[in-house]
């Protein structure tokens, strides 16, 4: 392990960094996390520290930038959650028959061979072009198209010939009297 560069003595600044982090974060646990993330970023970007510059100021800047990044990330996440709440308030549960049908389609999709399922997912669900999907799967475009064709045919077959549910037998009903 190589010795620490004496001009980059980050450990001697820990006390100051922790105090500043407590001021920014408002509590000890978040402050410790903030200092940790700032130290990781400082070591990763050590090459951007100019020798002869004020290390303490540079570390405070790194800490502050980590705090700002976290703040923006939390604010963005809160906005997404709020928007998702609006969407979920307007969604209605599908009728039972649609839920059952969706379950059948999900099972049929899961029953496809892995290579067909992967190809169908990339093109139909993710919206990738044939060329992009083929590159991801590492196969020629023709092979991808063949897999898609077989997967779509299997899914169409299920759509046109849904699985038949067996006749329900009522215990103690008419069916018992016939036998």
- CATH architecture of the domain with range 96-160: Orthogonal Bundle (1.10)
Would you say 20 and 60 are in contact if contact means Cβ atoms under 8 Å apart? yes
**What would the CATH number be for the domain defined by 6-90?**
1.10.1740.10
CATH 1.10.1740.10 domain residues, the chain: 6-90
* CA-closest candidate to residue 69, choices 61, 57, 58: 61
Kindly tell me if the per-residue pLDDT of 65 is higher than 80: yes
Kindly tell me if the per-residue pLDDT of 73 is higher than 70: yes
Predicted pLDDT of residue 171 = 53
CATH 1.10.10.10 domain residues, the chain: 96-160
The answer, as to whether pTM is greater than 0.75, is: no
CB neighbours of residue 164 within 10 Å: 6
């Amino acid at each position: 392990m190589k010795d620490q560069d004496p001009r980059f003595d980050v450990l001697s600044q820990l006390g100051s960094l922790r105090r500043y982090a407590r001021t920014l974060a408002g509590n000890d646990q978040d402050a410790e996390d903030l200092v940790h993330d700032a130290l990781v970023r400082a070591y990763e970007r050590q090459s951007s520290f100019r020798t002869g510059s004020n290390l303490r100021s540079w570390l405070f800047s790194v800490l502050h930038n980590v705090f700002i990044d976290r703040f923006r990330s939390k604010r963005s996440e809160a906005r997404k959650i709020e928007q998702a709440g609006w969407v979920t308030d307007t969604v209605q549960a599908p009728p039972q028959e649609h839920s059952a049908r969706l379950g059948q389609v999900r099972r049929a999709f899961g029953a496809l061979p892995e290579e067909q399922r992967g190809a169908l997912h990339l093109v139909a669900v993710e919206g990738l072009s044939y060329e992009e999907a083929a590159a991801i799967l590492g196969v020629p475009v023709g092979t991808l198209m063949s897999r898609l064709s077989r997967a779509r045919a299997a899914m169409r077959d299920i759509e046109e010939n849904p699985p038949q549910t067996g006749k329900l037998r009522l215990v103690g009903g008419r069916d018992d009297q016939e036998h």
